[in-house]
Structure 1
């Protein structure tokens, strides 16, 4: 089991409120991603769950048991950090086995668990190597293996892919997602990268200045952002946010339209404009169009669009895809 509940959890450092007050329920077996900009409190929240930080007030329960005052070792959780924290003088086998050895587990049982974890993570042929002989992705898999052998109630990942290059991050995203399907264990994953959040999560928790802005599945947040912060943070490229006369015509202070929901034409449409930067990515092209009276609008279109800097175009937002927000920045139903 791995159900985790936060009830009125508050954390302050001196007079600074880092986590004002959080209520959150994470179900057994869920893959939950905490996402938000730097300094939003996501890593602090993870450390509170792990027991690496003390709560100022509120309660944390795991499977119904209050663990608020318990040390990390008694919570039954395993944490994987951004830094691999491997012992450089030990082999991969010994690194994975270390927490079991410290717990006094029988050597035969240690051997079985280490080899099973290595097989799951495609590390069997690397067990006798040392961390310095491995790639960044392999070292991160060793760190995950060390967590797996403990058979925790939940895995806590604190930006584990930040040190990897873009290609390897993509590969590791898939590997961690596949691992979740295999183990069916609760996973809480912290990242500032909303692409990681969208592609990996069962449930996303969007944080801003320590507050939970919205909780939901990736597509719930994409289709129905609760406010301007979530609208601008979820989705890549980010949603176009437009104020002024164009918004007032729709009974809103601000309207939002995603780049993929704007059609482009050379002959006519709602807004006229001139193509600025055109980002050709192969299958997709992102056009940044300078429009008359509306501002710069990003348009996502096919890779073979054939429009470059200076081209005259017309843009038309899909009416049923417009998002409306009031003067407080809240979504209008």
Structure 2
């Protein structure tokens, strides 16, 4: 039985359609990431699943049951928001246990669940602290712990790492991945960060303008993007797009070429003038112009390349992607 099924879901605010014919299947235990640019509808879709927004049309099924008219508290879901939404007057233990107390769970079971979640999230030393005494990463772990103790059928996470600095994002991302494995839980995770999507997901749903562009595993989407939008959205640095006519084969389509598949080649087909060089230590990113078209080249290691230098570039034709209109 699927953990979540969306059938032809639409959502409109007045005359503005935000979600357009969304159909998605999420299996038990899957980690599914909704990804797309700001305004694509991913957070609205999560809120429709949670019951915080009512679908204008279509069906939402959780654990095999139609839940369109079921209130959020009865859907068997737990949500982690971008803002931590912790009660400032309650310590960590009480923030994590409040929902269980409201549901009438026994004191002994509450203590057991809080202890287990605290162990998983390494919060044992902070249970008596208040939110004001915690770092941003610790607060986010408490918010995740509050969801864990409820033992929901479905975890919904709405950009939970966006308020954290770069180092904390990486460490908390690892904690969420580890938690998913420990709990064997079904998780829906919303982000605009394609790195989070690629590193966390079993399955990625790419959204644009309220529609699903493609669904698949991270490597399926990376290696076989359905269209130019998906190809350009996943991957860092982003895929290069050039007219196929540059290859002098008379083709009118657009070619896509990932930066890591381009290399320095004295006999290569592309002549480029360097605009800018990003020395990253382990990698060197070279931004160059091929005629009127900007191209990013990702070279492994350190390279003594300077602006205005002329380069000749090659690539394996097998790595090309072709896109028509």
Q: Displacement, 1:244?
A: 5.9
Aligned residue for 1:298, secondary structure, equals: strand
1:331 alignment partner in structure 2:
none
Question: Over aligned residues, Cα RMSD in angstroms?
Answer: 1.3
1:272 alignment partner in structure 2:
271
Aligned residue for 1:58, secondary structure, equals: strand
- Paired with 1:206 and 1:160, the residues of 2 have a C-alpha distance of 18
Q: Displacement, 1:254?
A: 0.7
Aligned residue for 1:260, secondary structure, equals: helix
- Seen in structure 2, the aligned counterparts of structure 1 residues 325 and 178 have a Cα distance that, compared at 3 Å, is same
1:179 equivalent to 2:182? Answer no
Aligned residue for 2:306, secondary structure, equals: coil
- Paired with 1:194 and 1:248, the residues of 2 have a C-alpha distance of 33
Q: Residue 298 of structure 2 is aligned with which of 297, 300, 313?
A: 300
Q: Displacement, 1:249?
A: 2.4
Paired residues for 1:117-132 under 5 Å: 117-132=117-132
Q: Displacement, 1:2?
A: 6.4
Q: Do the aligned partners of 2:11 and 2:18 also contact (CA within 8 Å) in 1?
A: yes
2:10 alignment partner in structure 1:
10
Q: Residue 317 of structure 1 is aligned with which of 310, 315, 318?
A: 315
Q: Do the aligned partners of 1:222 and 1:231 also contact (CA within 8 Å) in 2?
A: yes
Q: Displacement, 1:264?
A: 1.3
Paired residues for 1:1-333 under 5 Å: 3-243=3-243, 245-246=245-246, 249=249, 251-265=251-265, 267-291=266-290, 293=291, 295-327=293-325
Structure 2: runs of 5+ lacking an equivalent: none
* Pairs aligned (count): 325
Q: Do the aligned partners of 2:244 and 2:251 also contact (CA within 8 Å) in 1?
A: no
Q: Do the aligned partners of 2:244 and 2:255 also contact (CA within 8 Å) in 1?
A: no
Deviations 1:129-156, CA, capped at 9 Å, x for gaps: 1111111010000000000000000100
Deviations 1:99-123, CA, capped at 9 Å, x for gaps: 1111111111111111111011000
- Paired with 1:85 and 1:296, the residues of 2 have a C-alpha distance of 43
247-256 or 11-20, which deviates more: 247-256
Q: Do the aligned partners of 2:2 and 2:64 also contact (CA within 8 Å) in 1?
A: no
Q: Displacement, 1:303?
A: 2.5
Name the TM-score, length of structure 2 as normaliser.
0.97
Q: Do the aligned partners of 1:34 and 1:207 also contact (CA within 8 Å) in 2?
A: yes
Q: Displacement, 1:310?
A: 2.2
Deviations 1:263-302, CA, capped at 9 Å, x for gaps: 113x3311112211111111111100122x3612100002
Deviations 1:178-218, CA, capped at 9 Å, x for gaps: 11011110000000000110011000000000000000000
Q: Displacement, 1:248?
A: 7.1
Name the TM-score, length of structure 1 as normaliser.
0.95
- Paired with 1:180 and 1:97, the residues of 2 have a C-alpha distance of 20
- Paired with 2:281 and 2:104, the residues of 1 have a C-alpha distance of 55
Q: Displacement, 1:8?
A: 0.8
Q: Do the aligned partners of 1:247 and 1:255 also contact (CA within 8 Å) in 2?
A: no
In the TM superposition, structure 1's runs of 4+ consecutive aligned residues that sit over 4 Å from their partners are none
Aligned residue for 1:59, secondary structure, equals: strand
100-109 or 240-249, which deviates more: 240-249
- Paired with 2:256 and 2:250, the residues of 1 have a C-alpha distance of 11
- Paired with 1:19 and 1:250, the residues of 2 have a C-alpha distance of 40
Structure 1: runs of 5+ lacking an equivalent: 328-333
Q: Do the aligned partners of 1:2 and 1:186 also contact (CA within 8 Å) in 2?
A: no
- Paired with 2:107 and 2:272, the residues of 1 have a C-alpha distance of 70
Aligned residue for 2:33, secondary structure, equals: strand
